[in-house]
Amino acid sequence: MWFHEMASQRSFPEDDFSIYYVLSECADHYDPCPVNEAEENQPHLQGVTGLRNLGNTCYMNAILQCLCSISPLVEYFLSGKYINALQKDCSEVATAFAYVMTDMWLGDSDCVSPEIFRSALGNLYPVFMKKTQQDAQEFLIYVLNELHEALKKYHQRKAYEKRSIPRCCRKMIANESSIITRLFEGQLSYSIVCLKCENCTYKNEVFTIISLPIPSEYECSLQDCLQCFFQQDTLTWNNQIHCSFCETKQEAAVRATISKVPKTIVFHLKRFDILGTMKRKLRTDIHYPLTNLDLTPYICPIFRKHPKYNLCAVVNHFGDLDGGHYTAFSKNSVTQAWYSFDDTRVSEIPDTAVQTAAAYLLFYSCQPFSIPTQKCKT
Write out the catalytic residue numbers: 58, 325
Helix (H, G, I), strand (E, B) or coil at 315: strand
For 231, phi then psi, to 5°, come to: -70, 160
**How far is Cα 134 from Cα 60, in angstroms, rounded to an integer?**
8
Cβ atoms of 6 and 24 within 8 Å: the answer is no
**In one letter, which amino acid is 218?**
Y
**How far is Cα 81 from Cα 77, in angstroms, rounded to an integer?**
6
- For residue 347, give the nearest of 19, 23, 103, 68 by alpha carbon: 23
**In one letter, which amino acid is 42?**
Q
**In one letter, which amino acid is 168?**
C
Instruction: List residues bridging with 155 in a β-sheet.
Output: none
Residues for the chain: how many in total?
378
User: What residues contact residue 257 under an 8 Å CB cut-off, 6+ apart?
Assistant: 168, 169, 188, 189, 191, 230, 298, 299, 300
Helix (H, G, I), strand (E, B) or coil at 340: strand
For 65, phi then psi, to 5°, come to: -65, -40
- Name the packing angle between helices 136-151 and 58-68 (round to 10°): 50
Residue 305: count of CB within 10 angstroms of its CB: 8
Q: DSSP letters of 173-220?
A: --SEE-HHHHHH-EEEEEEEEETTT--EEEEEEEESEEEEP---SSEE
Cβ atoms of 359 and 314 within 8 Å: the answer is yes
Cβ atoms of 228 and 215 within 8 Å: the answer is yes
